[in-house]
Amino acid sequence: MDERSWPRNAWYVACRPADVEDAPLGRTVCGERVVFFRDADRRVAALEDFCPHRGAALSLGRVCDGELTCGYHGLTMGRDGRAVRMPGQRVEAFPAIRAFPVLERYGFVWIWPGDPALADPAALPHLPWAESDDWAYDGGLFHMACDYRLMIDNLMDLTHETYVHASTIGQREIDEAPVTTEVRGHEVITSRHMQDILAPPFWRMGLRGAGLPEDARVDRWQVCRFSLPSHVMIEVGVALAGRGGYDAAPEHKASSIVVDFMTPETETSHWYFWGMARNFAPGDPDLTRQIKEGQHKIFSEDRAVLERQQDNLRRHPDRKLLRLNIDAGGARSRLMIERALRAEGLAEQRATTRADADPEIAQSVE
């Protein structure tokens, strides 16, 4: 029985383009062991990390002239998953291995682990900040030893900032400001707005970078947007108090988008691609470096909390957890994931039923 916790028919971030250059990259994505490499045209390819000869990991091999050669006995594979050649052997009858749809866009390599026939490039999220010189972006990657949904919970309820990130972005006004949660189309949105406060240390740095006084009183906002399968974009910022807050003119604010892509590895681990896109002082590399270093510290603090949380949940699987109003964003995000899983399960069940009734369909499904 399929009891996975992630939708398959969706685009997930697999790696950054620089991770796939001259050597193959092995990575487990959504429970699938995958090897990534570049073909002769420098396009990224993704195959299951399994040599059809003896089951060796192809990611331990090498790439030559755009083809992937197994490091065990020298079987060479093409991007379509079919054997190309092997010393002293005829390979025409070798079974093909699975090839995954991949895209390289917005500074990431994306993989579709589900039905290849459903892999629509138009389903890729649109990231306008990644295509504009008016924005600066940088970020990093953490391997997280916890369920990816725990990170979604964390990002959709920023109340924890007051306690986990007290020295950087936390402040008591976060606790005091009301939070609203709504489902709008294919997004779950939680919002919090704080009026006429002092900026915490991280945002004092942002004010300086935007050419604004760091000790000014500000209006602050946090708008968290979850979308399937596991993406959270958080609009954050501060504006000089009384100048319109979230809607203030650019010259009166420092605002950014916190970028979060969680890609499941196993049921209790995931790849966390994080970063920040900003549209103030985009040409300042020192500010970009400072923001990245600050985010690394912040997300390292989250990592420590969530990995211990995962261990607690493993030790006490029957404990009932409390659900408060601040948990609504994470709860609704999980509900959206569950609905996607049920929809995929229904589609798979129908395909199996048709296959049982019609041998020709069964062959095509296989």
pTM of the model: 0.91
| One domain for residues 65 and 102 | yes
| One domain for residues 44 and 185 | no
- Cβ(272)–Cβ(290) under 8 Å? no
| One domain for residues 146 and 85 | no
Phi, psi (degrees; rounded to nearest 5) at 321: -95, 150
| One domain for residues 91 and 186 | no
| One domain for residues 69 and 135 | no
Mean pLDDT per segment of 10 residues, for the chain of length 366 residues?
Answer: 85 97 96 97 97 96 94 94 91 92 97 97 95 96 98 96 93 93 96 96 95 96 98 97 96 97 98 97 95 96 97 95 92 96 77 44 28
| One domain for residues 213 and 104 | no
Whole-angstrom distance, CA of residue 327 vs CA of residue 323: 6
Label each residue of the chain as H, E or C: CCCCCCCCCCCEEEECHHHCCCCCEEEEECCEEEEEEECCCCCEEEEECCCCCCCCCHHHCEEECCEEECCCCCCEECCCCCEEEECCECCCCCCCCCECCEEEECCEEEECCCCHHHCCHHHCCCCHHHHCCCCEEEEEEEEECCCHHHHHHHHHCHHHHHHHCCCCCCCHHHHHCCEEEEEECCEEEEEEEEEEEECCHHHHHHHHHCCCCCCCEEEEEEEEEEECCCEEEEEEEEEECCCCHHHCCHHHEEEEEEEEEEEEEECCEEEEEEEEEECCCCCCHHHHHHHHHHHHHHHHHHHHHHHHHHHHHHHCCCCCCCCCHHHHHHHHHHHHHHHHHHHHHHHHHHHHHHHHHCHHHHHHHC
Residues whose CB is less than 8 angstroms from the CB of residue 317 and which lie 6 or more positions away in sequence, other chains included: none
Write out the two tokens for 241. 């108090």
Number of compact structural domains in the chain: 2
| One domain for residues 89 and 159 | no
pLDDT at 360: 35
Domain of residue 104: give its range: 12-122
CA atoms within 13 A on the CB side of 230: 31
pLDDT at 93: 86
| One domain for residues 275 and 143 | yes
What would you report as the CA-atom Rg of the chain, rounded to the nearest whole angstrom? 23
CATH number at residue 106: 2.102.10.10
| One domain for residues 135 and 97 | no
**Residue tagged 């501060």 (tokens):** 238
Reported residue count of the chain is: 366
| One domain for residues 68 and 174 | no
Whole-angstrom distance, CA of residue 49 vs CA of residue 35: 5
Write out the two tokens for 166. 């007290």
Does any domain span residue 1? no
CATH number at residue 317: 3.90.380.10
| One domain for residues 265 and 166 | yes
- Cβ(71)–Cβ(105) under 8 Å? no
pLDDT at 347: 61
Amino acid at 189: I
Phi, psi (degrees; rounded to nearest 5) at 59: -65, -15
